[in-house]
Structure 1
Amino acid sequence: MTGMRVAFISLHTSPAERAGTADAGGMNVLIRALAVALQASGADVEFFTRRSDLDQPATVTLDDGLIVHHIDAGPARPLPKSEIDAHIEEFRANLGSLEGFDVAHSHHWMSGVAALPLARAAGIPHVMTFHSVAAHPNSSLREGEPAESPARLAGEVVCATQSDLIVAVSRHEAAVVIGRCQADPERVVVIQPGVDTVLFHPAEPDEAWTPAPDVDPGYLMFGARLQPLKAPDVAIEAVALLPEDLRPDLVVVGEASPDFADYEDELHRLVAERGLTGSVTFLPGQDRADFARTMRHAAIVLVPSHSETFGLVALEASASGVPVVAAAAGGLTEAICNTHTGLLVPSHDPQAWADVIASLLRDPQRRADLGATGRQRAEEMSWARVAERTLAAYRRAVSACCVHRVAFLHAHPDDETLASGALIAHLIDEGLDVSVLTATRGEMGGVVPGPLTRLEGTPELQERREAELAGALAELGVRTHGYLGNPPARAGAEPRRYLDSGMRWIREGLAGPGDQAGERSLTLSDLAEETADAVAFLRRTGADLVVSYDDDGGYGHPDHVRMYEVAKAAAAELGLPFARLTPDRERADRWFHLGGYLPRVAEALRHHRTQLTVHDDGATITHSGGQSERILTSVGLIGEVPRLP
C-alpha cells in the first residue's frame, strides 16, 4: 500500500513539545522522528493532541512538515498527566472521526482509549504503542510517584486486548504488555526505536564546548524529566560518593512536570546536603541541537531510571560516541549492550553506581572503546529502517483488520443463498468484493415435485441448476463465481468436474453419506487436488477472508463437510483467515442482524426452482424433500473474523 494515511494519536503531549519539559520526554522524540521517517517513506502522518494553550491554532504545520491538530479536551492549559484522563471522552468527541485514514496509531494508554472506538467506527485498524506501562500495584517504583489512576490500569488492558496490533519498543515492553495487560502474543511486534546519527555524533577532536560557563570539560550528564522514576537522586548521590580528586561536574538536563512540581527543589536540597553546590548544574529542557551538543561533550551519560520501556537517551548517547552507565531495568538492557556500549548496574545503590562510574573515569581507553562500539551500533539503527518495519506492521494490520475481498466456498447450488445469502448481499452493499466457489452442480439432489421432476437424474438437470445458480448470484450482486475443477478454480492443466456425492437422512435434521457416490464424487476425490483447485481460485480472486460451513457441514451432508475441509486447508495454505458459518448466535464470534435483506434473499431463492419453493409469505421455503423452514437472514461467523462492516 502506497500513500498510506496514518493518524498519530498523542493525547497527553504534543510532538512539538521540547523533550525534558513538563511531560515531554523520549516519547515525544520518538513519535516525531518516526513520523518524519514515515513521511520520507511515502506515508502521510497527522498528529492529534490535546490543546494546552488558548493560542494554539486548530491545525499547525511544524517546520519538518508534520501536521498537528489541537483538540479541545479540558482547560486549554498544561495539566498534570494524572488529571488528563478525566478528559478522554471529551477528546474523543471533539476529534470526531478518523474517516479517510488507513491506520490509527495511538501513543500511550490515554490515546488508545480515546481512539479505539473511532478506529472501529472508521473501519480501520488500531495500532497501539504504550511507551510506558503502569507500575505493578506492589512495585517499589511507586515510591515518590503519584498513585496510578484506576482508569489507567483498566485502560491499558482495553488497549492491549482490543487493538489490532501492538508495536512494542522493546522485548521487555512486549513481555509486560502480554503478561500483565493480557495482549495476544500474535498481535505484538517489537520494533526498537532508531536514532538520528546526523544530529547525534561524536565530538570533533578540536571542538571545545561546555553547556554552562561554570562546567568543566569531562562532565557527567543526566538527561530526563525530573521525577522519581528517572532517579536523578541516584546520579547525585553517586557523584557525592566519588573521590574528590576524581569527581567531575554533573550536568542535569530536564525539568519537573506538574505532577512533580516540588521535586526539583528536593534535588537542589540534596545537592546542598551532599556538599555538591558548584559541582552540579541544572539546565532546563533543551532543543534537540543543544541537547545533542551537551551529550557528545560528556564523559559519561548516566541513565539510572527505575523503569524504561526502551531508554532512547541511552541510544542517543551511543550515537554520540559517549559510554553509558545505566540501570539494568526494562528496555535499558536492550538500548545498550552491556560491556560493549556501556555498563549496566544491577541495583540503585549509589555506592554501586559510584564504583562503576569511578572505574570508567580511571580508564579513558575503555571509555573510548565503549563509545566507538556504541557509535557503530547506532549507525545500524536508522529511523529509515524503523519506518520500513513500521509500515510493514501497518500493512499487516490493514490486511488482518480490513477485509476487502471475501470468498464463500459451498458444495451445491442454493447453498450460497440458504446459508449465507443475506451476508453476501450485505457485504457487497458495503463495498466488499465477494466471490463464490461452488463444488458441484447438485446432480444427486432431488427435484421439486411438478413439471420439473422429469429433469431428475438427467444431464439437463446439471445445466438447469447452473442457470438457476447464475440467476441467484446475480440477484445477490455476486459478479465472480467459479466451479471447483474449472478455471479459475483449477490447479491442473485439464479441467475436471467434481460430482455430487449424495446423502441419506440419519435422523431429522442430520444427514450422512449416501451409498451411490461414484469415484468422481467430491467426497471420494483427492482432497489435496481439491484443495489445490480452491487455492487457485482464492489466488485469482485475491481473497483476504475465506468463509465456508462449520465442521459438521451445517447438517452433516458429506459434501458440505468436505468443502469445510477444502476451504480450511486452502485458507491455511495461503495464510488467510478462515471463518465458519453458524445460525447459532451463542456460538458466533461475530453476529449479523440482517432481517432487512429477507426480500432480496427470497428473490434469489426463487431462481432455485428445481430445489425449493418460496412460499407466498416471502419468508418460508419448502425443499424438494418436503422439509419446510424459514428463510435464514441473520447469521454468525466462528473463528478468525477480521473486522467486517
Structure 2
Amino acid sequence: MRVAFISLHTSPAERAGTADAGGMNVLIRALAIALRQAGIDVEFFTRRSSPGQPATHVLEDGIVLHHVDAGPPRPLPKSQIDQHIDEFRANLGSLDRFDLVHSHHWMSGVAAIPLAREAGIPHLMTFHSVAAHPNSSLRDGEPAESPARLDGEIYCATQSDLILAVSRHEAAVVIGRCQADPEQVMIVRPGVDTELFHPADGEVWTPDPRVAPGYLLFAARLQPLKAPDVAIRALALLPEAERPHLVVVGQASADFADYEAELHRLVADLDLTSVVTFLPGQDRESFARIMRHASIMLVPSHSETFGLVALEASSSGVPTLAAAAGGLTEAICNGHTGDLVPTHDPRDWAEALLRLLRDPERRARMAVTARERAETMTWAHVADRTLQAYRRAIANGAVKHVTFIHAHPDDETLASGALIAHLVDEGLKVSVLTCTRGEMGAVVPGPLSHLAGTPALEQRREAELAGALDSLGVHAHAYLGMPPARAADEPRRYLDSGMRWIADGVAGPGEQADERSLTSADEAEATADIAAFLRKMHTDLVVSYDDDGGYGHPDHVRAHHLSRAAAEEVGIPFAALTTNRELAARWFDLEGYRPRVAKALRHHRTQLTVHDDDRSITHSGGQPDTIVTSTGLRGEVPHLP
C-alpha cells in the first residue's frame, strides 16, 4: 500500500516546540515510521519554507519528504499560509500513484481532496486541531482565525471518506461543529515511543546548572492557548521554601513574536528569575532526557485535541498536572497517571501542585501506573489501528454498523462490553438486541431480593440495561418481538427460559419454561423478528454467542442459532464471540476499557456485584467471576478497527 501524507503548513522534519511545530509534527512522523515498519510506503508532501530545500529528500529514518512550492520559500505565520493553498495544490500534481491520501490539518485537506477525487482514491482526514468557536474565550490573546478556516474544516469533514480523530473530544467537535457524518469518524489515539521516553531509574540529572533536581516541566509552543502563564503564576503562589524550579521548553512562532518576551517580563515581575529557566525547542533525544528527570509535567492548555506531551510524560514515569480540557481528559487517567485541574485559575493550580509535591509516595504510584498505561499505547498499536482504517476506506463495502444480539440483560456487558465500547469509540454505529428481560434469573441477595419472581423485576432489569448501554455508548436498542425487532403487526414478548442441568455438562430450560419462552418459540418467527431489526438498523455485521452459548445456557444457544439464521437471511456476515484466542479470526485486547465495563456492570445490581478492584464480580448465585476485556470473533469477520 502506498500512502500520501499531506502536511502543508508544517514539515515532519521540523523540531517540535519551534515555530509552528508541535505535537502534530511528532505524531505524523512517528506514525509514518510505524506504518513503514508494517510494510506501508509513506511519502510526505509539505510546503517549501527555504530556498535550499530539495524537491525530494529522504530523512534519516527512511521517510520520503517532498517540498512543494507554495508562496515565498521562507517561514510564514500559519495564519498566512492558507493564502497559498491553491498554489500548493497546483504544484502537488497528480496523486494517482498512491492508494489513498491522508491529510493532516485543514489546509492540507482543502488542497488534497480535489486531487484525491481526480485520482479516484480515498481521502482520509486528521484535523489535529479544530478552530476555536467564534465566541470562545480561547481566542483571547490569539490571532484571529483565518476567515477560510471554518468553511475549510466543514469542507474537509463532509468531503473526506473517513476522519481519524485523535480523541473522543475531537470526534465530538468534528461531528457537532464541522458536520461530519458520525459513521465516518473513527478514533485513533496517538501513541508514544516507550523506548525513547522511559523512566530515569534513579539517575540524577538536570538540563542546566541553574536548575535544581526535581524540577517542574512545561513544554509546548509559546502561545496563549498553551497557557504557560498559568504555570508561572501558579509557581509564584507556592510557599518559597517548597517552590521547585520550573523549566519551560519551547519557542514562539511568528504569530506570537511578542509573547515570549511577555513571559520573560512576567517571570521578572513575579521575582521568579532564579527558579524559571527557558530552553529552546529540543531534538527528541534531548527532550526525552529533560522529560524523564522532571518531577511533574505541567499541561495547562486551554484546549488540546489529545495532548501528546502528557502521554510522553506518562511513558517517562512522570506524573502530569493537566487542565481538564478537551482530549487531556483522555490522555490522563485522573488520579492514576496524573491529576486534572478543572479551571485555569493559578490559585487552583497552585493548590493541586502543592498536594502533589507534598505526597511523594502518591507521585511514585502515579509514575508506575503511568508507565504501565503508556506501554499499551505504542506507535505499533497506532499503526495497526490506522492500517485498519486505511483498509476500511479502500474496501467499498466497509462495516459501518454492528449489531450485538444477547439473550438477557447483563450478557451484553459480560460477554462483549469492552468490544462494544471500543467499536463505539472507533466511530462505528453499534446496536444491541436483547431477546428477553431475564425474568427467570435470580436476584442478588440484599435490598432488591423482594423483586424476584415479580413483574417489578422485569421493569428493574429494563432500567438496569438502559443504564449499562448508556455507559457503553450504545443508543440503539430493542427487545426481540417489539418494534423494530418484530416482523408481524402485533408485538410479542419472548420470555426467559430459565436453566437447569439435565445431564453432565448439558443444560436445558428451567422447569417453569412454557410456550412463551425463547427456547420454545417458533424458529421461523423469531428469526424473522431478528431479521426485521437487522434490516431496520442497516446492519453490516451480526455478533452473538458461540454455538455453545458461552457456558451452555439454553437461551444463549438459541440466540446463537437464531442470530446466525437471521444474518444469513439478510445476507450479512455473522461472527461469534469467543474467549479462545486460538479459535479467533480476530482478537481484541481491550484492557483500557476495564473501568468503563465495570461502570456498565454496576448498573446490573439485581444480577451481580462488581468488586472495588474493577476486576472481579460475584453473580446472584454466589459464583465468582472476572470481568472480561479481551475477546475474539470467530467466523466471517470483515475489517474492523
TM-score by length of 1: 0.62
Say whether residues 1:188 and 2:189 are aligned partners.
no
Say whether residues 1:307 and 2:303 are aligned partners.
yes
The one-letter code of the counterpart of 2:278 is: F
Q: Which residue of 2 aligns with 1:350?
A: 346
Question: In 1, Cα distance between the equivalents of 2:85 and 2:397?
Answer: 25
The one-letter code of the counterpart of 2:126 is: T
The one-letter code of the counterpart of 1:373 is: T
Q: Which residue of 2 aligns with 1:323?
A: 319
Determine which structure has more spread, i.e. the larger CA radius of gyration. Answer: 1
* Aligned residue among 349, 353, 360 for 2:356: 360
Question: In 2, Cα distance between the equivalents of 1:51 and 1:211?
Answer: 33
Say whether residues 1:152 and 2:149 are aligned partners.
yes
Name segments (4+ residues, structure 1) moved above 4 Å.
Answer: 569-572
State the secondary structure of the residue aligned to 2:43.
strand
Question: In 2, Cα distance between the equivalents of 1:177 and 1:575?
Answer: 30
Question: In 1, Cα distance between the equivalents of 2:4 and 2:37?
Answer: 16
Alignment deviations for residues 354-377 of structure 1 (CA, whole Å, 9 cap, x no partner): 001001111111111111100000
The one-letter code of the counterpart of 1:25 is: G
Question: In 1, Cα distance between the equivalents of 2:70 and 2:101?
Answer: 19
State the secondary structure of the residue aligned to 1:28.
helix
Alignment deviations for residues 284-340 of structure 1 (CA, whole Å, 9 cap, x no partner): 000000100001000100000000000000000000000000000000000010000
Matches within 5 A, 1:303-452: 303-400=299-396
1:69–1:355 Cα change, 3 Å: same
TM-superposed CA distance for 1:150, in Å, is 1.2
Question: In 2, Cα distance between the equivalents of 1:72 and 1:161?
Answer: 27
Question: In 2, Cα distance between the equivalents of 1:261 and 1:572?
Answer: 62
Matches within 5 A, 1:147-296: 147-205=144-202, 207-296=203-292
Q: Which residue of 2 aligns with 1:60?
A: 57
Percent identity of equivalent pairs:
75
Q: Which residue of 2 aligns with 1:51?
A: 48
State the secondary structure of the residue aligned to 2:240.
coil
8 Å Cα contact 1:310-1:334 kept in structure 2: yes
Alignment deviations for residues 167-211 of structure 1 (CA, whole Å, 9 cap, x no partner): 000000000000000000000000111100000000021x22111
* Aligned residue among 93, 115, 118 for 1:118: 115
Question: In 2, Cα distance between the equivalents of 1:169 and 1:575?
Answer: 29
State the secondary structure of the residue aligned to 1:340.
coil
Alignment deviations for residues 143-179 of structure 1 (CA, whole Å, 9 cap, x no partner): 0001111100000000000100000000000000000
State the secondary structure of the residue aligned to 2:353.
helix
State the secondary structure of the residue aligned to 1:574.
coil
Matches within 5 A, 1:18-37: 18-37=15-34
Question: In 2, Cα distance between the equivalents of 1:57 and 1:573?
Answer: 53
8 Å Cα contact 1:49-1:71 kept in structure 2: yes
Q: Which residue of 2 aligns with 1:469?
A: none
Question: In 1, Cα distance between the equivalents of 2:22 and 2:383?
Answer: 20
The one-letter code of the counterpart of 2:73 is: A
The one-letter code of the counterpart of 1:200 is: F
1:85–1:401 Cα change, 3 Å: farther
The one-letter code of the counterpart of 1:162 is: Q
1:127–1:242 Cα change, 3 Å: same
8 Å Cα contact 1:20-1:253 kept in structure 2: yes
TM-superposed CA distance for 1:575, in Å, is 7.0
8 Å Cα contact 1:125-1:401 kept in structure 2: no
Alignment deviations for residues 530-588 of structure 1 (CA, whole Å, 9 cap, x no partner): xx9xxxxxxxxxxxxxxxxxxxxxxxxxxxxxxxxxxxx99962379xxxxxxxxxxxx
Q: Which residue of 2 aligns with 1:13?
A: 10
1:333–1:571 Cα change, 3 Å: farther
Q: Which residue of 1 aligns with 2:572?
A: 574
Matches within 5 A, 1:25-104: 25-104=22-101
Matches within 5 A, 1:456-467: none
Question: In 1, Cα distance between the equivalents of 2:79 and 2:14?
Answer: 18
1:346–1:18 Cα change, 3 Å: same
State the secondary structure of the residue aligned to 1:377.
helix
Question: In 2, Cα distance between the equivalents of 1:151 and 1:385?
Answer: 35
Compute the RMSD of aligned alpha carbons.
2.1
1:372–1:97 Cα change, 3 Å: same
Question: In 1, Cα distance between the equivalents of 2:359 and 2:570?
Answer: 58
Q: Which residue of 2 aligns with 1:514?
A: none
Alignment deviations for residues 59-86 of structure 1 (CA, whole Å, 9 cap, x no partner): 0000000000000000000000000000
The one-letter code of the counterpart of 2:12 is: P
TM-superposed CA distance for 1:100, in Å, is 1.0
Say whether residues 1:109 and 2:96 are aligned partners.
no
Question: In 1, Cα distance between the equivalents of 2:221 and 2:89?
Answer: 28
Question: In 2, Cα distance between the equivalents of 1:305 and 1:41?
Answer: 34
TM-superposed CA distance for 1:400, in Å, is 2.7
Which runs of 5 or more structure 2 residues have no equivalent in the other structure? 399-526, 532-566, 575-641
8 Å Cα contact 1:124-1:401 kept in structure 2: no
Question: In 1, Cα distance between the equivalents of 2:365 and 2:204?
Answer: 21
TM-score by length of 2: 0.63
Which runs of 5 or more structure 1 residues have no equivalent in the other structure? 403-527, 533-568, 577-645
State the secondary structure of the residue aligned to 1:181.
coil
State the secondary structure of the residue aligned to 1:400.
coil
